[in-house]
Structure formats: C-alpha cells, structure tokens
Amino acid sequence: MIYKDVIIIGGGPAGLCAAKILADQDVSVLLVDRDHHLGGQLVKQTHKFFGSEKQYAKNRGFEIAKILINDINDKPNIEILLGATVAGIYKDHVITVVKEERYLKYKAKAFIIATGASEKALAFENNDLPGIYGAGAIQTLMNLYGIVPEDEVLMVGSGNIGLIVSYQLLQAGVKVKGIVEAASIIGGYKVHASKLKRLGVPFYMQHTIKRAIGKDHLEAVEIVKLTDDFKELENETSIIKTKALCIAVGLSPLSQLLGMMEVAMKYIKELGGRVPVLNNLNQTSNPNIFACGDVSGIEEASSAMMNGYIAGLGALKHLEHPHPNHDELIKMYHHELEILRHSSYGEKTLAGLKKLGGGPYAN
C-alpha cells in the first residue's frame, strides 16, 4: 500500500489545475490518468479558446495543456502515474489502480475526482457499421495522428463539439456533407455556426438519423424530419450519401467512481447525467471526496480549469493546510465561473446547477 495526502484521478484541465494548486504545498500528491499522456480532451483541441487570461484564452487547447503540464511537471511533491486506470475506490479511502496488468493500491486522506465525460451514443438501425465515429475519435485521429477518417463526413449534432469538429474537418480538406440536428435551434456558439454556413455546409434542423445504409462500410444514411416534440414524421425521410458519420450528441459525466463512494448525486439533464451535489469548495457529501470538471456537470474546458483550482483549494483546507491565499483565490475562481456561466452557453448550466442545489450552503 502506498500512502499519499491527496490523489487526483484524471489529468485533464480540471485535474491539472487541482494539481497546480497543490504543487509546492506541503502535501504529497498522486496524479493518475489512464491515458499515456496528461491533458485530457485538451490535447486534441486545435482551436483558440474564449474566456479570459485566467483560462489562457486565445491559446489553442493543446497549447493550454502544455502550459498546465509544464506548471506541475518536476514538482517534488507530485507523483504522476500514466497509463493507469483507477478501477475502484473504497470506503477505507483506498483505490485500486490497474497499470500494465498489475494492481496497485493507494490510500489517501483526500481524493479529487476529475474523470471527465464519455460521449453519448445514438440508437438507430445499423449504427455499428464501420464508418460511424464519435466526435472524440475523429478529433483524436485528425488532430493527434494526422489521419482523416474519410474524404466526406456527415455530422450529427450542432452543439459546440459538432460545430468545431466540422470546421476542423473542413480545414483538413474533408467535405462536410451537412449537420443533422434534432432541435429547432443550433446548440453551439453562433460564431462557429456562421462560419460553417458561410462555407456552404447545410444544416438539417429538426432531423435525426433513421438508419445507416451499407454492407461492409457506411455508404449513406436515411434522415427523418422530427416534430417539435421530437416525433418522427414517417413520410418525410431522405437519403444522404456519405462514407462517414460523426456523432456529437453530447457527453455524460464519468461519475461511476463517485457512485462507488455513495456520495449524494442527482440526475440533472442540463448537466449531462448523474452528478454529485457539491459545496462551494467542490466537496461532495463525503468530506474526503472532491469533484471537478465534466464529472460534476458538462461544461467547457475553461470552467473545468476554474473548478479544478477550487477543488485543489478545498482539499488543502480539508487537510487543515489551507493555501496561504485561500479566501482570495476561492473568491476569484468563483467570480471567473460566474462570468463564464453568464455567457450564452451558460444558461443551461445555471439551470442545471439550480436544480442540483449545493453551493455555499450545502454542508
């Protein structure tokens, strides 16, 4: 058994920012990620970020990852364990980590869960045909390995991920055959949607995928028009020829580890699924467990960073070793979150957080 003061599970923007707060403090930290590199989703994001300088706005996602990784690398109090999946977390404050077919056990006084999210799937006939991808897979192929999936792609989902990945496909010389969206309004930022419209990408609003067509590989899809209450209009279907389909229909918090610790959680649609109830230090109903980033509600990388800092500060306070600037920093990061959440995308998050409860008065 290896002992640490704090274990951070997940090295995306949320986990990295939590680690940044703990760096150089008198606490021992383990940062563990199942991937073979740190950065989480940021490493595949090639577009420039919005926000303020506190979120490294105007930098590209992978550049922000490099900055954050640089800030915590070589810190004597932080051990980084990569290619290591946390398979379980137990009531005696022990985690099991699977690394290279070996099981390792760690025990800590506080845990920061920053495991991010998984992509939602879409149910339709033949949805397992080769040529059907999730947006994360396409971003990884193109932006990490320089491989385009096909020379044409039809996108499903007009949220920011669908819009950004469509733009990245166009930049890579791939024809975007259109964007299929079940809702009547575009979910992502208008600025991204306008760019795509100017480049001639058609939007099929109030449509969904009925079936994928092809024998050994995708050749076309049948789309169907939807009513305002998302019922299929049987006679209003059309066929779009495409070699690839990209599904970008939202994310679900990867909150299974929180579930194992039986912390108070609620299903909140606006936050993507089952999320923990947190106080203003991002502490769950179990005082030893903190959560931040997409696992505590789907937002964006910028808010994941702010929430990571808050969880780091919360863990230090819990260990009775508060950061020298605790009050000032907590106030500042909550203020930054307020600003981010009062932008157009934040409406949904604010509605979700209201339903979830928690906040300063939770504990």
**DSSP letter assigned to residue 55:** G
Report the DSSP beta bridge partners of residue 29.
6, 78
Spatial distance between the Cα atoms of 232 and 224, rounded to a whole number of angstroms = 6
Residue 136 CB, shortest distance to ligand FAD, in Å, is 3
For residues 51-62, b (16+ Cβ closer than 10 Å) or e, as one string? Answer: beebbbeebbbb
Query: Contacts with ligand FAD in 41-80 (CB under 6 A)?
Result: 41-42, 45
Q: How far apart are CA 359 and CA 320, in angstroms?
A: 21
Segment lying near ligand FAD (by CB under 6 A), choices 35-43, 218-226, 278-286, 327-335: 35-43
Residue 304 sits in the site that holds ligand FAD (CB under 6 A): yes
Binding part of the chain for ligand FAD, among 100-108, 122-130, 156-164, 199-207 by CB under 6 A, reads 156-164
Nearer to ligand FAD, 159 or 178 (CB): 159
Which positions from 263 through 292 interact with ligand FAD, judged by CB under 6 A?
none
How far lies 220's CA from each of 238, 240, 283, 286, in Å? 10, 6, 48, 50
Which residue, 159 or 206, is less far from ligand FAD as judged by CB? 159
x/- letters, 185..224, toward ligand FAD (CB under 6 A) = ----------------------------------------
* Six token digits for residue 88: 């379980």
Q: Tell me if 86 contacts ligand FAD by CB under 6 A.
A: yes
Minimum Å distance from CB 221 to ligand FAD?
20
Nearest alpha carbon to residue 167 among 199, 136, 208, 137: 199
Binding to ligand FAD by residue 4, rule CB under 6 A?
Answer: no
Tell me if 112 sits within 8 A of 258, measured CB to CB. no
CB of 209 to ligand FAD, least distance (A): 18
Instruction: Kindly tell me the burial class for residue 360, based on how many C-beta atoms sit within 10 Å of its own C-beta (0-12, 13-18, 19 or more).
Output: exposed
Q: Looking at this protein, which amino acid is placed at residue 286?
A: N
Which segment (70-78, 116-124, 282-290, 336-344) binds ligand FAD by CB under 6 A? Answer: 116-124
Burial of 212 (0-12, 13-18, 19+ CB in 10 A): buried
Q: Which is nearer to ligand FAD, 131 or 162 (CB)?
A: 162
Residue 336 engages ligand FAD in binding (rule: CB under 6 A): no
- Write out the two tokens for 23: 């760096």
Mark the segment that binds ligand FAD (CB under 6 A) among 20-28, 157-165, 213-221, 271-279. 157-165
Q: Does 294 bind ligand FAD (CB under 6 A)?
A: yes
254: its two tokens: 């990867």
Cα distance between the two ends of the chain:
32
Structure tokens, 225: 């028009």
> Looking at 64, 106, 110, 116, which residue binds ligand FAD (CB under 6 A)?
116
Of the CA atoms within 13 Å of residue 28, those in its CB half-sphere come to: 9
Nearer to ligand FAD, 6 or 254 (CB): 254
* Residue 33 binds ligand FAD, judged by CB under 6 A: yes
**Number of residues engaging ligand FAD in binding (CB under 6 A):** 37
| Footprint of ligand FAD (CB under 6 A) | 9-15, 32-35, 40-42, 45, 85-86, 114-117, 119, 135-136, 139, 160-161, 164, 251, 254, 293-295, 299-301, 304
